[in-house]
Structure 1
Amino acid sequence: MGAAESTGTEREPLLGPSQAEATVQPVTNSGRVYGRRWLVLTLFSMLAFLQGMVWNTWGPIQNSAKQAFGFSSTDIAILVIWGPVGFIPWLLFMWLMDKKGLRASLLLTVFFMVLGSALRSVPLTNLQLRRWLIHGGQLLNGLAGPTLMSAGPLLSTTWFAPDQRATATAVASLVGYLGAACSFLIGPLAVPAPNDTQIVNSNIHWDTEQIRNRIQFVLYAELGMIAVLFAVVLLYFPSRPPVPPSVAAASQRLSYRSSICRLLSNMRFLMIALAYSVPTGVLAGWSGVLDMILTPVRVSQVDAGWIGFWSIVGGCVFGVAMARFADYIRGMLKLIAVLMLAGASLAATWFTLTCLTRLTHLPSTKATLYTSCILLGIFINSSIPIFFELFIETVYPVPEGITCGVVTFLSNLFTGLLLFFLTFYITAKDRDGKKQDNAALTRGLAKQM
Structure 2
Amino acid sequence: MSQTAGRNSEDTSLLTDPRLESSLNRNFKEDTEYRVYKRRWFILAVLGILNFSNALSWLTFSPVSDHSANFYNVSPSKIDWLSTVYMIAAIPVGFLAIYLLDTFGLRLGIITGATLNFLGLAVRYLSSFDFISKDHHIPYMIVLGGQTLCAIAQPFLLFAPTKLAATWFAGDQRAVANMIASMLNPLGLLVVNIASPAIVKKDGDITLMLFVYLIPGAIGFLLSIFGFCSSVPPSPPSASAAEVHETFWQGLKKIVRIPAYFLLFVNFGAGFGLLSSILSVLQQILCVRGYTDEFSGYCGASMLGFGIIAAFFSGLYVDKTKKFEEVTKICFSLAVICFMAFTILSTFDDMQIELLIFCTMFGVLGLAQYAITFELGVECTYPVPEATSAGFLAMSGQIQGIAFMLFFQFLATEEIHPNQKCTNNPSEKIHVLTTPLLICCGYVTFTCFLFVTFFKTKYLRLEAEQRSGADSILNYNTIANYRQQPVYS
TM-score over 0.5 (shorter chain): yes
1:373 aligns with 2:382: no
For the 8 Å contact 2:101–2:387, the answer to whether it is kept is yes
Kindly report which structure 2 residues correspond to 1:311-390, keeping only aligned pairs within 5 A, or say none. Answer: 311-330=303-322, 332-357=323-348, 364-390=350-376
Q: Which amino acid aligns with 1:217?
A: L
Change (3 A) 1:169 1:11: farther
Q: Which amino acid aligns with 2:371?
A: P
What are the Cα deviations for residues 157-211 of structure 1, in whole angstroms up to 9, with x where unaligned? Answer: 111011111111111122111111111111122223xxxxxxxxxxxxxxxxxx2
For the 8 Å contact 2:58–2:86, the answer to whether it is kept is yes
The residue that corresponds to 1:221 in the other structure is 212
Kindly report which structure 2 residues correspond to 1:249-268, keeping only aligned pairs within 5 A, or say none. Answer: 249-268=241-260
What are the Cα deviations for residues 121-169 of structure 1, in whole angstroms up to 9, with x where unaligned? Answer: 1224617111111222211111112121111110001110111111111
CA distance in 1, matches of 2:143, 2:169: 38
Task: Find the partner of 1:104 among 71, 84, 108.
Answer: 108
User: 1:72 offset after TM fit, Å?
Assistant: 2.9
User: 1:296 offset after TM fit, Å?
Assistant: 2.3
User: 1:64 offset after TM fit, Å?
Assistant: 2.9
Kindly report which structure 2 residues correspond to 1:67-86, keeping only aligned pairs within 5 A, or say none. Answer: 67-86=70-89
Unaligned runs of 5+ in 2: 1-24, 416-422, 429-489
1:185 aligns with 2:194: yes
User: 1:427 offset after TM fit, Å?
Assistant: 11
1:396 aligns with 2:400: no
Q: Which amino acid aligns with 1:398?
A: V
The residue that corresponds to 2:485 in the other structure is none
Task: Find the partner of 1:289 among 281, 297, 300.
Answer: 281
Change (3 A) 1:12 1:296: farther
CA distance in 1, matches of 2:28, 2:368: 29
User: 1:12 offset after TM fit, Å?
Assistant: 6.7
Kindly report which structure 2 residues correspond to 1:13-28, keeping only aligned pairs within 5 A, or say none. Answer: 14-15=32-33
Change (3 A) 1:370 1:64: farther
For the 8 Å contact 2:162–2:390, the answer to whether it is kept is yes
Task: Find the partner of 1:280 among 261, 267, 272.
Answer: 272
For the 8 Å contact 2:49–2:216, the answer to whether it is kept is no
User: 1:392 offset after TM fit, Å?
Assistant: 0.8
CA distance in 2, matches of 1:402, 1:335: 23
Q: Which amino acid aligns with 1:248?
A: S
Say which SS state the counterpart of residue 297 (structure 1) adopts.
Answer: coil
1:174 aligns with 2:191: no
User: 1:89 offset after TM fit, Å?
Assistant: 2.2
The residue that corresponds to 1:310 in the other structure is 302
Q: Which amino acid aligns with 2:204?
A: N
Unaligned runs of 5+ in 1: 1-6, 16-30, 193-210, 358-362, 438-449
Q: Which amino acid aligns with 1:55?
A: W
User: 1:11 offset after TM fit, Å?
Assistant: 7.6
* Backbone CA RMSD of aligned residues: 2.6
Change (3 A) 1:65 1:396: same
CA distance in 2, matches of 1:121, 1:376: 35
What are the Cα deviations for residues 270-329 of structure 1, in whole angstroms up to 9, with x where unaligned? Answer: 011111110111111221232333332333333322321221121111011111101111
CA distance in 1, matches of 2:366, 2:261: 19
The residue that corresponds to 1:116 in the other structure is 120
Change (3 A) 1:11 1:84: farther
CA distance in 1, matches of 2:287, 2:120: 29
Farther-moved stretch of structure 1 (318-327 vs 129-138): 129-138
For the 8 Å contact 1:159–1:244, the answer to whether it is kept is yes
User: 1:367 offset after TM fit, Å?
Assistant: 1.9
What are the Cα deviations for residues 202-253 of structure 1, in whole angstroms up to 9, with x where unaligned? Answer: xxxxxxxxx2222221111111221222112111112111111112101101
Kindly report which structure 2 residues correspond to 1:142-221, keeping only aligned pairs within 5 A, or say none. Answer: 142-192=151-201, 211-221=202-212
Say which SS state the counterpart of residue 235 (structure 2) adopts.
Answer: coil
TM-score by length of 1: 0.81
CA distance in 2, matches of 1:295, 1:65: 19
Q: Which amino acid aligns with 2:61?
A: W
For the 8 Å contact 2:115–2:221, the answer to whether it is kept is yes
CA distance in 2, matches of 1:382, 1:350: 19
Change (3 A) 1:39 1:399: same
For the 8 Å contact 1:269–1:394, the answer to whether it is kept is yes
What are the Cα deviations for residues 423-442 of structure 1, in whole angstroms up to 9, with x where unaligned? Answer: 4567999xxx9xx98xxxxx
Task: Find the partner of 1:92 among 93, 96, 105.
Answer: 96
CA distance in 1, matches of 2:148, 2:285: 23
User: 1:368 offset after TM fit, Å?
Assistant: 2.2
Say which SS state the counterpart of residue 34 (structure 1) adopts.
Answer: coil
CA distance in 1, matches of 2:180, 2:30: 27
Q: Which amino acid aligns with 1:174?
A: M
In percent, how many aligned pairs have the same letter?
Answer: 24
CA distance in 1, matches of 2:366, 2:335: 6
1:409 aligns with 2:395: yes
For the 8 Å contact 1:158–1:241, the answer to whether it is kept is yes
- The alignment of Structure 1 onto Structure 2 pairs a total of residues equal to 390
User: 1:113 offset after TM fit, Å?
Assistant: 0.8
Task: Find the partner of 2:53 among 47, 50, 54.
Answer: 50
1:301 aligns with 2:256: no
CA distance in 1, matches of 2:255, 2:283: 37
Q: Which amino acid aligns with 1:285?
A: S
Change (3 A) 1:423 1:119: farther
User: 1:62 offset after TM fit, Å?
Assistant: 2.0
For the 8 Å contact 2:112–2:156, the answer to whether it is kept is no
